Chain A
Amino acid sequence: MEYFVQQLVNGLTLGSIYGMIAIGYTMVYGIIGMINFAHGDIFMLGGFAALIVFLLLTTFIAGVPVVLALLLMMVVAMLTAGLWNWTIEKVAYRPLRGSFRLAPLITAIGMSIALSNFIQVTQGPRNKPIPPLVSSVYDVFGITISLKQIIIIIITAVLLSIFWYIVNKTPLGRAQRATEQDRKMAALLGVDVDRTISVTFIMGAALAAVAGTMYLMYYGVVVFTDGFVPGVKAFTAAVLGGIGSLPGAVLGGLLIGLIESLWSAYFTIDYKDVATFSILAIVLIFKPSGILGRPEVEKV
């Protein structure tokens, strides 16, 4: 039993990271109907930005408080990733809006390769390790919970609450939902559609960057290919939860984290990805629009 709960905690941690990345996929899909294949690399970029901040801090200032270091890493990662996503949306995706459906998709794949190669060239192809930032571990009723896990789960919960509030309760969120539901009508009501789409890309990138920072802190290492596997997992999470649905992205992320942890714990770790994708396939057979997705009826 304790072993099971232990795996739940591990799965929840990993699932939080997937969920934060998945939101970017699902929001961009919702608002412009495009799968942003470069989104996983934004997550990786966030990890690298955090790494660089960490190295600068530890090199130039002795004894920086950990909380401050983490906070700075997160903020710089968010800004860097946000700026990058804002730029590629403007120069690479926007001009293709309204052209044939595959064009932005192919461009996104190109952007993904460009960013990971850029990081490979400038940062080197090897794993970049950092010493453990936080290493406290607590024993709660026989379950080992690390401070890292607590931080990840709390930060995810806080950010998702803020995010939920923005999307559901503010004029900006209303403009985003209006643009998603009927872009032309939104413009007729005075919504600057281009700006709203830009903001959506920035928000998605910021969350992915936080996920990247958390990933770096959790595993203590980042490498230029890190955008790929977690990116695909997060994309799977978005599809599993129902692409276009925000709660679906979070739910999908948590489920995939849990499936991975539980499968690795009880069966063989080698097949954990097979298990994940099998479950995705099964869900999609019975519910093609995903767990919380709505059937494609009114998409134009």
Chain B
Amino acid sequence: MSAPLLQVKAVETYYGNIRALNGVDVEVHRGEIVCLIGANGAGKSTLMMTICGSPQARTGAVMFEGEEITRMPTHEIARLRIAQSPEGRRIFPRMTVFENLQMGASLDNLKYFNEDVEKVFTLFPRLKERQAQRGGTLSGGEQQMLSIARALMARPKLLLLDEPSLGLAPLIVKGIFEAIKKLNKEEGLTVFLVEQNAFGALKLSDRGYVMVNGRVTMSGSGKELLANPEVRAAYLEGGRH
């Protein structure tokens, strides 16, 4: 097997003196969809942000395409084409939808801009209708689409999605999951996503990790984890299906 696209090795991340990640190992290979599930406060978002160097890991290493990026500034990591749709979507509220998309396209690929905009508009036609509207006035679902679309504008080698389904109607969640699957199938896009909606996410994913209190406690293929009794008890039964 070739070297993983992303490799997180024994990473520990702190907020002040509080340790949020406690020796995390995760791998994502090219062309995979990998998901990370876990309860609230487990450290999932911290891992996503640590990959992007904000905050940086205190110990351990983050490797991307075989190069260490642990101490790289966040904006340089972004320029390696790691794009994130972070927790809370973080749309620029006083920029239009179109400007938010422009922010997603880094300077060196402005030549693809028109083509890429058309592509995300095909994926999320709602955004096309709203392109002149300010980000802050969009509905939650539209903001989520915009957040993902903005990340796609970077032509990412690795797409990080932090809870893309949070707070959205089931129909919209289905649409977003289908869009992810389609990009993965048709363009080989590599996706690492965090989900509370464990059932949907595991079905979508090639592999998954389970995180508890800042540690990865289990990993396996999507199917294995779906069938695992512990996973079922903790994250599926009684949870959202």
Chain A interface residues toward B at CB < 8 A:
171, 174-175, 177-178, 181-182, 184-193, 298
Contact = CB atoms under 8 A, between A and B. Distances in A.
Contacts of B95: 174, 177-178, 181
Contacts of A191: 75, 103
B31 to A, nearest CB: 23
A189 B104 contact: yes
Contacts of B79: 190
A142 to B, nearest CB: 45
B201 interface: no
A188 B92 contact: no
A187 B77 CA distance: 9
Interface string B93-110: 111000100111011000
Nearest to A177: B95
A270 B87 CA distance: 57
Contacts, number: 60
Contact of B75 (A177, A182, A192): A192
Contacts of B75: 187, 189-193
Interface residues on B, range: 20 to 34
Interface string B110-147: 00000000000000000000000000100000000000
B102 A188 contact: no
A191 B73 CA distance: 10
Nearest to A179: B92
Contact of A181 (B83, B94, B102): B94
Interface string B58-102: 000000000000000111001100011010001011110001001
Nearest to B92: A181
Contact of B86 (A181, A185, A192, A298): A185
Contact of A182 (B74, B78, B92): B92
A177 B93 CA distance: 10
5 smallest A-B Cβ distances: which pairs? Answer: A190-B78, A187-B74, A185-B90, A190-B106, A181-B92
A174 B74 contact: no
B150 interface: yes
B54 A181 contact: no
Interface of B: 52, 54, 73-75, 78-79, 83-84, 86, 90, 92-95, 99, 102-104, 106-107, 136, 150, 154
Contact of B78 (A171, A175, A181, A187): A187
Contacts of A193: 75
B93 A188 contact: no
Given A181-B93, A182-B92, A298-B93, A188 B52 contact: yes
A122 B85 CA distance: 54
A17 B75 CA distance: 37
B54 A189 contact: no
Contact of A178 (B92, B136, B154): B92
Contacts of A298: 93, 136
A192 B73 CA distance: 9
Contacts of A184: 54, 74, 90
A177 B150 CA distance: 16
Given A175-B103, A188-B74, 13 more contacts: A174-B102, A177-B95, A178-B103, A181-B94, A182-B90, A184-B54, A184-B74, A185-B86, A185-B92, A187-B78, A188-B52, A190-B106, A190-B107
A193 B54 CA distance: 13
A55 to B, nearest CB: 43
19 contacts: A174-B102, A178-B95, A181-B93, A181-B94, A182-B92, A185-B86, A185-B90, A185-B92, A186-B103, A187-B73, A188-B54, A188-B78, A189-B75, A189-B78, A189-B104, A190-B79, A191-B103, A192-B75, A298-B136
A189 B107 contact: no
A164 to B, nearest CB: 15
Nearest to B82: A188
Contacts of A178: 92, 95, 103
Contacts of A181: 92-95
Contacts of B106: 189-190
Contacts of B107: 171, 190
A190 B154 contact: yes
